[in-house]
C-alpha cells in the first residue's frame, strides 16, 4: 500500500467536515474526548506543537467504499448538510471532532458533562504568554456564559471586549474573524501585546497538519485491516508508565503498586479490582507532588525526583489514601459512594491525599473540605483543566483553613445554585453521579423490599420514577430520562413496575409497607415529599397524555427544588458564618 505525504491546513479540514466533504467510515469509534482534551488540543495549536499525523483515504463521492457518518455535531449546526465526501478520516477523528466542537459549538454535551460547553481564548492571558490559562470553557447553562449574551442569545461584542475574550466559534469563519479583529479588538492592547496575541491567533488559523493519504485504488478490505491495526497498536504510555521507567533506581513503582493493591481493601475497590489500573497509583504520586508544592501537569510530573517520591514517602501516601481518604469517601452515609461506579471524579483523590499528607503541619477542617468537595461535583469543575484546578484548589484550601477566604470552587458553586439545572440524562457526568450520591447518602432503599436487608447497596440501580414504558404508551412528550425522573431501586422491582402508572405501583407499595405513611417515609429517602406522593397517586391509567404531562412537569419541578436544597446545604456548610 503506497501512501502519499502532504500538509493540509487544519481549519480547512474542519470546514470540509462542516460541508460534508470530509466524513468518517462507520467503523470509527464514538467521539470520547473531554473538555480537558479539547482545551489541551487548542493550547497545542496556540503553541504550534505537533499534534500528530492524520491518515485519510481519498474517495469518489459517487462510489464510497464504506458506510459513512458525519463528524459528530455537524448535522446540528448545518441544517443543509449534504454528504458528498472526498475524504474519509481513518486516524484523527478525535482531534478533528474536538476542533469542530470548539469552532462550531454544537449544543451537545461532552463526555462526563451534563450540558454543552463553549470554548474561549482569554486575550490578556495570551498577552502574558499564559497559554494554559488562556484557553477555557464554560457550560452554556452557567451564569458567566449567559452574561456574555445579548437578548437574542448571541454574543454581545461589548461584553466580550470588556472581558477581553474571544469565543473559539469566531474562528470558524476565518476571513470574517480577522475583519472583526482589526475593527473591534486591536485598540484593546498596545502594539507589543497586540503582536503577541496575533501570533497566537495565527498559529491556530494557519496551523498545518501532516497527512498521509491512501489513494483511491486501494481495496476496502485492505483499508479496514489497516484501520484495525492502527487502533490495536495505538496504545499511549501513561505518565505512570514513564515514571516507573525513570524512577527504577530509587523505587520499583510497579511492584509497590501491586503490593498496595493486594494489601489494602479500599484501594482495591477504588481500582475496580484491577491491578493493571494505574490511574490510582498516579493519583497517589500527584498527591505527593501537590503536598510538596509541585505542579501536577504531566510535563512537570515527569520531572519528579527521589526527594519527593521514594519508598518512605510512597508508603506514607498509600497509608493516607487507604485509611484517611478512601475509608472516608466510601462511607455511604457521608458521601453516598456505594461503589466505584458512583465516584464522580476519581482524580479528586490526589487533592485529598495531599491535604492529609499536610495534616501534620496544619489543622485540617473536614467541614470546609466537604463544602469544597460538593462544590466541585455540582459545578462539573474537574471536567476540564483538571490539573490546574486541582493545584489551585489545594492552595486555596490551605489558605481557607487559616483565614475566612472562600476558595474559587466554593464561591462559584454558591453563585451557580440559583441557576443550576438538574436536567442531565448523561450518566457519566459528575452532576448525575452526585445526585445519586445524595440518594445513597439519604438512605434511599428499594420500593418493594420492605426491610432493605435482602440485598446489597451495590445491587441498587438507577431507574425511572414515571416508568418510561408508561410515558411512551401514553404518548407523553417529556424528557423522561433526566435524573429528576430517576432513583435507586432494584432491577427486579423495575421490571415489576415497568409500564404501569405510578398510582398502580404506589398502591402496591402501600400493600407491602402496610400504610401510606410508611410509603411516604420510604419515598422521602428518594427526595419525594408528601406533595409529590399525592401527584404520583393521581397519575392513573385513565389520564390523558396532557394530564400526565402536567403531573410529570409538576413532579419534576418539585423534586428539583428539594434536591437543590440539599445541594445548597452541603455547599453552604453548617453555618453561613463559615464564609
Alpha helices in 206-278, H assignment, sequence order: 220-233, 239-246, 253-263, 265-270
Strands 54-58 and 117-122: unpaired
Residues 440 and 407 in one domain: no
- Decide which of 231 and 97 is more confident: 97
240-244, 337-341, 532-536: the lowest-pLDDT one: 240-244
Domain count, the chain: 3
pLDDT at residue 74 in the model? 94
Q: What are phi and psi of 164, to 5 degrees?
A: 55, 55
> How does pLDDT run across 352-370, given as a tens digit for each residue?
999 999 987 778 899 999 9
pLDDT at residue 154 in the model? 95
pLDDT at residue 236 in the model? 47
The answer, yes or no, to whether residue 232 has pLDDT greater than 50, is: no
> How does pLDDT run across 263-301, given as a tens digit for each residue?
999 999 999 998 888 899 999 999 999 999 999 987 788
pLDDT at residue 145 in the model? 93
CA–CA dist 223, 28 (Å, integer): 12
Domain range enclosing 194: 4-212
113-117, 449-453, 462-466: the lowest-pLDDT one: 449-453
The C-alpha cell at 243 is 515514571
Which of 383, 414, 445 is the endpoint of a domain?
414
Q: Of 50-54, 147-151, 250-254, which has the strongest mean pLDDT?
A: 147-151
User: Is position 464 within any domain?
Assistant: yes
The answer, yes or no, to whether residue 233 has pLDDT greater than 60, is: no
The answer, yes or no, to whether residue 452 has pLDDT greater than 80, is: no
Residues 328 and 457 in one domain: no
Confidence of residue 33 (pLDDT cuts 50, 70, 90): confident
333 CB neighbour count, 10 Å cutoff: 9
Which residue matches cell numbers 497586540? 194
Which of 169, 196, 212 is the endpoint of a domain?
212
The answer, yes or no, to whether residue 234 has pLDDT greater than 50, is: no
Residues 438 and 547 in one domain: yes
Question: What integer is the mean pLDDT of 439-452?
Answer: 91
Average pLDDT, the chain: 90
Residues 404 and 438 in one domain: no
pLDDT at residue 185 in the model? 95
Residues 491 and 547 in one domain: yes
User: Is position 222 within any domain?
Assistant: no
472 CB neighbour count, 10 Å cutoff: 11
In angstroms, what CA-CA distances link 139 with 35, 114, 153, 296, 331?
Answer: 10, 9, 14, 25, 31
Residues 245 and 163 in one domain: no
User: Is position 224 within any domain?
Assistant: no
Confidence of residue 574 (pLDDT cuts 50, 70, 90): low
pLDDT at residue 579 in the model? 34
54-68, 468-482, 502-516: the lowest-pLDDT one: 54-68
pLDDT at residue 231 in the model? 52
User: Is position 567 within any domain?
Assistant: yes
The C-alpha cell at 327 is 475509608
pLDDT at residue 577 in the model? 39
Residues 29 and 169 in one domain: yes
Residues 105 and 250 in one domain: no
Confidence of residue 484 (pLDDT cuts 50, 70, 90): very high
Closest CA to 115 of 86, 145, 91: 145
Confidence of residue 386 (pLDDT cuts 50, 70, 90): confident
The answer, yes or no, to whether residue 451 has pLDDT greater than 80, is: no
pLDDT at residue 300 in the model? 84
Residues 409 and 460 in one domain: no
The answer, yes or no, to whether residue 68 has pLDDT greater than 90, is: no
pLDDT at residue 223 in the model? 57
Closest CA to 424 of 468, 486, 370: 486
CA–CA dist 135, 168 (Å, integer): 9
Question: What integer is the mean pLDDT of 217-229?
Answer: 54
pLDDT at residue 578 in the model? 38
CA–CA dist 452, 26 (Å, integer): 46
DSSP 55-78: EEEE-BTTB-SS-EEPPTTHHHH-
Residues 23 and 127 in one domain: yes
In angstroms, what CA-CA distances link 341 with 124, 271, 405?
Answer: 40, 11, 34
Question: What integer is the mean pLDDT of 159-169?
Answer: 96
pLDDT at residue 244 in the model? 81
- Decide which of 178 and 114 is more confident: 178
- Identify the bridge partners of residue 117 per DSSP, sorted by sequence position: 139
Residues 352 and 203 in one domain: no
Residues 312 and 251 in one domain: yes
Is residue 338 within 8 A of residue 457, CB to CB? The reply is yes
Confidence of residue 229 (pLDDT cuts 50, 70, 90): low
- What percent of the chain lies above the pLDDT cut of 70? 93
- Identify the bridge partners of residue 58 per DSSP, sorted by sequence position: 87
CA–CA dist 28, 93 (Å, integer): 8
The C-alpha cell at 381 is 469543575
Question: What integer is the mean pLDDT of 383-391?
Answer: 87
User: Is position 89 within any domain?
Assistant: yes
User: Is position 420 within any domain?
Assistant: no
Closest CA to 56 of 96, 29, 19: 96
User: Is position 232 within any domain?
Assistant: no
Which of 359, 388, 414 is the endpoint of a domain?
414
Question: What integer is the mean pLDDT of 370-382?
Answer: 96
CA–CA dist 475, 303 (Å, integer): 60
pLDDT at residue 1 in the model? 53
Which residue matches cell numbers 493519504? 213
User: Is position 65 within any domain?
Assistant: yes
Strand intervals (E) in 59-190: 68-69, 87-91, 117-122, 135-139, 165-167
Amino acid at each position: 500500500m503506497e501512501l502519499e505525504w502532504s500538509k493540509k491546513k487544519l481549519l480547512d479540514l474542519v470546514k470540509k467536515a462542516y460541508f460534508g466533504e470530509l466524513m468518517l467510515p462507520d467503523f470509527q469509534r464514538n467521539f470520547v474526548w473531554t473538555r480537558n482534551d479539547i482545551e489541551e488540543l487548542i493550547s497545542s495549536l496556540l503553541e504550534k506543537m505537533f499534534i500528530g499525523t492524520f491518515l485519510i483515504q481519498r474517495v469518489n463521492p459517487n462510489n464510497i467504499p464504506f458506510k459513512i457518518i458525519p463528524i459528530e455535531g455537524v448535522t446540528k449546526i448545518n441544517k443543509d448538510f449534504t454528504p458528498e465526501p472526498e475524504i474519509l478520516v481513518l486516524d484523527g477523528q478525535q482531534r478533528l471532532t474536538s476542533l469542530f466542537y470548539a469552532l462550531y459549538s454544537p449544543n451537545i454535551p461532552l463526555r462526563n458533562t451534563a450540558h454543552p460547553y463553549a470554548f474561549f481564548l482569554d486575550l490578556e492571558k495570551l498577552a502574558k504568554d499564559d497559554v494554559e490559562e488562556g484557553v477555557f470553557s464554560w457550560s452554556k447553562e452557567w451564569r458567566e456564559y449567559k452574561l456574555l449574551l445579548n437578548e437574542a442569545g448571541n454574543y454581545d461584542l461589548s461584553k466580550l471586549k470588556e472581558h477581553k475574550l474571544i469565543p473559539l466559534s469566531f474562528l470558524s469563519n476565518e476571513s470574517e474573524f480577522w475583519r472583526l479583529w482589526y475593527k473591534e479588538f486591536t485598540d484593546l492592547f498596545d502594539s507589543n501585546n497586540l503582536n503577541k496575541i496575533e501570533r497566537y491567533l495565527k498559529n491556530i488559523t494557519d496551523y498545518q497538519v501532516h497527512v498521509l493519504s491512501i489513494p483511491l485504488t486501494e481495496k476496502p478490505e485492505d483499508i479496514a485491516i489497516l484501520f484495525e491495526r492502527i487502533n490495536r497498536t495505538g496504545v499511549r504510555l501513561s505518565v505512570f508508565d514513564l515514571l516507573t521507567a525513570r524512577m527504577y533506581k530509587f523505587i520499583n513503582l510497579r511492584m509497590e503498586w501491586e503490593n498496595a493493591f493486594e494489601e489494602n481493601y479500599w484501594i482495591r475497590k477504588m481500582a475496580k479490582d484491577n491491578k493493571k489500573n494505574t490511574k490510582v497509583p498516579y493519583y497517589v504520586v500527584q498527591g505527593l507532588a501537590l503536598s510538596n508544592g509541585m505542579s501536577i501537569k504531566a510535563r512537570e510530573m515527569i520531572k519528579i525526583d527521589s526527594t519527593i517520591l521514594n519508598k518512605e514517602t510512597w508508603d506514607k501516601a498509600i497509608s493516607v489514601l487507604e485509611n484517611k481518604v478512601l475509608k472516608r469517601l466510601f462511607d455511604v452515609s457521608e458521601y453516598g459512594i456505594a461503589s466505584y461506579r458512583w465516584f464522580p471524579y476519581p482524580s479528586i483523590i490526589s487533592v485529598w491525599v495531599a491535604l492529609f499528607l499536610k495534616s501534620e503541619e496544619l489543622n485540617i477542617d473536614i467541614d470546609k473540605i466537604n463544602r469544597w468537595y460538593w462544590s466541585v461535583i455540582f459545578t462539573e469543575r474537574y471536567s476540564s483543566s483538571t490539573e490546574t484546578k486541582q493545584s489551585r484548589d489545594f492552595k486555596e484550601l490551605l489558605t481557607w483553613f487559616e483565614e475566612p477566604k472562600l476558595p474559587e470552587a466554593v464561591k462559584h458553586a454558591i453563585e451557580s445554585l440559583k441557576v443550576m439545572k438538574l436536567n442531565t440524562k448523561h450518566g457519566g457526568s459528575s452532576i448525575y453521579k452526585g445526585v445519586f450520591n445524595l440518594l445513597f447518602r439519604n438512605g434511599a432503599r428499594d420500593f418493594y423490599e420492605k426491610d432493605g436487608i435482602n440485598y446489597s447497596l451495590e445491587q441498587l440501580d438507577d431507574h425511572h420514577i414515571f416508568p418510561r414504558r408508561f410515558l411512551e404508551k401514553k404518548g407523553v412528550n417529556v424528557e423522561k430520562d433526566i435524573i429528576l425522573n430517576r432513583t435507586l431501586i432494584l432491577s427486579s422491582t423495575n421490571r415489576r413496575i415497568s409500564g404501569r402508572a405510578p398510582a398502580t405501583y404506589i398502591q402496591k407499595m402501600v400493600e407491602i409497607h402496610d400504610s401510606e405513611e410508611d410509603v411516604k417515609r420510604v419515598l422521602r429517602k428518594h427526595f419525594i415529599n408528601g406533595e409529590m406522593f399525592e401527584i404520583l397517586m393521581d397519575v392513573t391509567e385513565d389520564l390523558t397524555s396532557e394530564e400526565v404531562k402536567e403531573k410529570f412537569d409538576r413532579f419534576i419541578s418539585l423534586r428539583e427544588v428539594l434536591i437543590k436544597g440539599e445541594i445548597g446545604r452541603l455547599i453552604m456548610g453548617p453555618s453561613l458564618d463559615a464564609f
